[in-house]
Amino acid sequence: MKYQYNGTDLIDERQDYMYSKFEGENFIDAYLENRLTCLNSSSFQAVSVEDIESKVVTELEKFLELDSESKLENDVGLLSTKCFLLNIAKSFLLGDKEKAICNLDLLVHRFEVSKKIYPYYESPVKSGSGSDREYMLYLLMGLVLAYSYIKTEDLQHLSTLLKIVDTIISIKPRTKLDHAEFGIFEVLVLSEVNLVERLNVNTC
Can you give the pLDDT at residue 76? 80
Q: Report the amino acid identity of residue 103.
A: N
Query: Residue 119 domain-assigned?
Result: yes
Q: Residue 153's Cα: distance from chain center in Å?
A: 15
DSSP string computed for 49-82 = HHHHHHHHHHHHHHHHHHTTT--SB-TTSPEEHH
Tell me if 45 is assigned to some domain: no
pLDDT at 69 over 70: no
Residue 1 has a CB neighbour count (10 Å cut-off) of 11
Confidence of residue 175 (pLDDT cuts 50, 70, 90): confident
* Residue 18 within any structural domain of the chain: no
Taking the C-alpha atoms of residue 148 and residue 3, their distance in angstroms, rounded to an integer, is: 25
Higher pLDDT, 49 or 123: 49
pTM of the model: 0.94
Helices (H) and strands (E) in the chain, counts: 7, 3
80 found inside a domain: yes
- The verdict on residue 100 lying in a domain is yes
Query: What is the count of structural domains for the chain?
Result: 1
Within-domain flag for 2: no
157: Cβ contacts below 8 Å, ≥ 6 apart: 104, 108, 145, 148, 149
Report yes or no: 128 and 118 within 8 Å, Cβ to Cβ. yes
Domain for residue 162, yes or no? yes
Task: Convert the pLDDT of each residue in 92-146 to its tens digit.
Answer: 999 999 999 999 999 999 999 999 999 999 988 888 999 999 999 999 999 999 9
Range of the domain at 112: 64-197
List the one residue out of 187, 114, 191, 199 whose CA is nearest residue 154: 199
| CA contacts within 13 A on the Cβ side of 97 | 8
36 pLDDT exceeds 80?
Answer: yes
- State the average pLDDT for the chain: 92
Give the pLDDT of residue 196.
95
Render pLDDT for 153-163 as a digit per residue (tens, 0 to 9).
Answer: 999 999 999 99
Is 175 domain-assigned?
A: yes
Per-residue pLDDT tens digits for 13-23: 999 887 777 77
pLDDT class of 204 with cuts at 50, 70, 90: low
